Amino acid sequence: MTKVVDLYFKLLKLLIVLCMVAMIVLVFGNVVLRYAFNSGISVSEELSRWFFVWMIFLGALVALKDRAHLGMDSLVKRLPAVGKRICLVIGHLLMLYICWLIFSGSWQQAAINLDVVAPASGLSMALFYGAGLVFGASAAPILLYELYLALFGKLGDDELVMVKDNDAEVITHNAATADPIKSTHP
């Protein structure tokens, strides 16, 4: 099962890169065409906006799995293990509710806009709202699994705080574990 999940998230990372490349090509190509040849790509703005939305939703999934979202943990990390666990459970329940809201809202919008075509590309607007469907359907199992781990005591005390406070803490940790660089200055 782990291999399937890892393969899925590798696919998501590839799709994120492809969205970024497509955005760069469309926007840069449109700028060059407008300034150099006084013409442009009519679907460039619309498709780059769609790629951006998909890239954000897919990136949020990858960050959720990797526990890479930034947050303020200064209060939670001072709590005892039981308090940390309670905060984690409450936070995950709230995030599951938000995933449900995103999924159900995207489902309704996709159903409403299934036959509506985008003005420039002619694609179904349901594709645009599909990003919320993919996010909701993929984020919920991640959150449920982490909730299971928290409720049944399978997380260590150091794993109960799942956000990174700031980059300085990561840099300090990396500097402490790396070999010191010897300075030649007095």
Question: Is residue 165 over pLDDT 80?
Answer: no
Confidence category of residue 158, pLDDT binned at 50, 70, 90? confident
Question: Is residue 117 over pLDDT 60?
Answer: yes
Burial class (CB in 10 A: 0-12, 13-18, 19+), 84: buried
Over residues 126-149, the pLDDT tens digits come to 999 999 999 999 999 999 999 999
Return the structure tokens found at 81: 């293990």
Question: Is residue 163 over pLDDT 60?
Answer: yes
Tell me the C-alpha to C-alpha distance, in Å, between residue 51 and each of 95, 127, 131: 24, 11, 10
Portion of the chain with pLDDT greater than 70, in percent: 88
Burial class (CB in 10 A: 0-12, 13-18, 19+), 153: exposed
Contact 131, 57 (CB under 8 A): yes
Return the structure tokens found at 167: 């980059």
pLDDT, position 107: 97
Q: Which of 102, 131, 126 is nearest to 113 (CA)?
A: 126
pLDDT, position 40: 83
End-to-end CA distance of the chain: 55
Q: Which of 175, 137, 169, 177 is nearest to 71 (CA)?
A: 169
CA atoms of 84 and 69, how far apart (whole Å) = 17
Contact 160, 119 (CB under 8 A): no
